[in-house]
Chains A and B, each alone.
Chain A
Amino acid sequence: MVEAIRFRDDEPHEEPAGSMDSFLDQSNATAVRIEAGEDVRQLLPYLERLALIEVDFPAFGDGRGYSAAQILREQGYTGELRASGDVLVDQLAYMRRCGFDSFAPEKPIDPEVMERSLGRYENIYQGTTDQRSPIWKLRHG
């Protein structure tokens, strides 16, 4: 595990993220890690309390985590949302668009390639929780 890449200004959260089960068993935990396939909506009652949600990608082709992130942000979660596991540089831009703001990739990511990749597309076609204006909005004001 390499150090997390963060796109947040606040200090990294100290509490380690435990499993969904152990989180639901506790009344004061502020960090949780969810596995692909776990229903992120179970966390909705606790979003106020949560400061770190880590979403695991067991394989880069397993895209469930993108929907998990979108649902959390749609429901107003503002804490750190971290993608971990098989997170590759070419997936980062879409992850950012779905609301992830930190990354804990299994294998290191070349910062130069990352920068190029994240800055590449000036515009986007569809709305997501990142609040960027889709092209249709630019067309119609």
Chain B
Amino acid sequence: MYQYDKYDQQMVDTRVEEFRDQVKRRLAGEITEDQFKPLRLMNGLYLQLHAYMLRVAIPYGTLNGKQMRMLAHIARKYDRDYGHFTTRQNIQYNWIKLEDAPDLLAELASVEMHAIQTSGNCIRNISSDQFAGAAADEIADPRPWAEILRQWSSFHPEFSYLPRKFKIAVIASDTDRAAMKLHDIGIQLVHNDAGELGAKFFVGGGMGRTPMIAPEIRDFVPADELISYAEACLRVYNRYGRRDNKYKARIKILVHELGKDEYTRQVEEEFAHMKELGLNPPVEELARITEYFADPAFDLDASDDLDLSDPDFAIWVDQNIDTHKQSGYAIATISLKPRGGIPGDASSAQIDLMADLAEQYSFDELRVTHSQNIVLPHVKKSDLYALWQKLDEAGLAPANLDLITDSIACPGLDYCSLANARSIPLAQKISEKFADQGRQKELGELKLKISGCINACGHHHAGHIGILGVDRKGTENYQLLLGGSAAEDTSLAKITGPGFTEDGVIEAIETVTDLYLQEKQGDERFIDTYRRVGMEKFKEAIYG
């Protein structure tokens, strides 16, 4: 994986000192909270319901054991002994003291980590496929491109006060594991007719109050024009994105209001000029970064044999293991969705253990997924049983990847100052309700996503089943949505009808899953049956 050189290190070290100075000025009363807010936000520090929340960037979700252990150390020393992995492959701490933040950032910098631009109206952490470099179906590793974009977007002077936040995802296979088309810019690496690697651009996707799927605006941007093309996309947005209404300020609204063709025309016009400005790093820079992502030293003679005589292990393998590009190896997903647990939460001890296991079994690499799980990308099949036993002992072996209890949930009203309803207790109840392994397995792939307000941090628009918490005359109320997908068949879920109480929405989920089992044909997943059968039938079942 990527390693900082002296320049990268100097940048994060300088940022720590800058923030230390800003915090000092704030604590001394030299700047007001209003003036301090954009400065702390640019550094991932939010003022929440009870305390400051700090979001630490995990670029494209990749980290090593040492970095993972630092995350555990921070949870232990500065927080309440746990951290929360997020849908953008980052980690959040919920109980941070402002005066501690500079020291905390200095500790992060010592392991090549930071919290730069994890909030604020700027370009956020670049996300990617959690299976990058391991997936059997990728045409290249997308992370070198993501790293080029990370460096370019860090401290970008023109694009740090955008109309609204800006999220970029990069993938390199037809299977989309990163919700790419639901980003402000989604990039898919592709080959052109000459066999050169380049970037297909999708612009204007997003969730929030007005969910949109990003349309493709260019089928191929060459590697040595990537940055100037991204600059052109951003400049049109920075100049013309709406600033009169926070809820209409994302680039998706601009692309929608201008129309894809007009937005594209303006970008191309800007690009024609910007590509002459010398903004693009030479191809040698991409080559330099790509070297860091070379394959680890795989044992080429490793066996594909797997002893599945332990039935519990067999269930976990069946559910949580994906195909690796190298024979004899597997991609193992550690589910952070234990029965009745809080999606994405992990204790310091669990984080430490995952760091140890990565060092021992996965060439010192871990990934965070947008579904709030952790991946060990390169595990020898002959090590899987030993790995599973250690995970199981620590409560880290739920065999539920992509099943109904592998839900995404935002922090909700338990933590968040924007939320209208609680998400976590609902996720926990659903997890209990569907805990039976046979029942979950029978329901098959079923992406359940819960947001505690219309801002959609829990991706409810992209859930096969989505739940949106709203405030109805002072009580929490939950709307049910069906038919969304964040995968390559991206679609937006639709609201079934009037909302429910917490218990009522769980009942409604049981009704729709029962109907699915009744209507299912052949190998259909829930989403396939829903698409074939249509909303009406589900509505009838729910509301009679």
**Interface positions of A (Cβ within 8 A of B):** 36, 60-64, 66-68, 70, 74, 88, 90-91, 93-95, 97-98, 110, 113, 116-117, 120-128, 134-136, 138-140
Contact = CB atoms under 8 A, between A and B. Distances in A.
A122 B160 contact: no
Contact of B285 (A62, A93, A116, A136): A136
B18 A139 contact: no
B130 to A, nearest CB: 25
B313 interface: no
Interface in B146-167: 151-163
A113 B159 CA distance: 23
B239 interface: yes
A126 B288 CA distance: 17
B155 A88 contact: no
A117 B155 CA distance: 14
Interface string B113-140: 0000000010000000000000000000
A62 B38 CA distance: 12
B279 A67 contact: no
Contacts of A120: 14, 17-18
Contacts of B284: 140
10 contacts: A62-B243, A63-B238, A88-B35, A90-B38, A98-B157, A121-B155, A123-B7, A125-B11, A125-B152, A128-B157
A138 B132 CA distance: 29
Nearest to B155: A125
Contact of A66 (B39, B238, B273): B238
Query: From DSSP, what is the main secondary structure of chain B's interface residues?
Result: helix
Given A64-B239, A95-B157, A135-B7, 13 more contacts: A36-B243, A63-B159, A66-B157, A66-B159, A66-B238, A70-B235, A94-B157, A98-B157, A117-B18, A120-B17, A121-B11, A127-B278, A140-B281
B355 interface: no
A57 B419 CA distance: 32
A94 B120 CA distance: 15
A88 B35 CA distance: 8
A93 to B, nearest CB: 8
Interface in B35-66: 35, 38-39
A123 B152 CA distance: 13
* A67, A70, A91, A126 interface centre (most CB from chain B within 10 Å): A126
A97 B157 contact: yes
A134 B22 CA distance: 25
Contact of B281 (A66, A88, A136): A136
A56 B239 CA distance: 14
B151 A125 contact: yes
A136 B282 contact: yes
Contact of B161 (A63, A97, A117, A136): A63
A5 to B, nearest CB: 18
B21 interface: yes
Given A120-B17, A127-B277, A138-B7, A63 B160 contact: yes
Nearest to A135: B7
A77 B245 CA distance: 33
* B5, B25, B153, B239 interface centre (most CB from chain A within 10 Å): B239
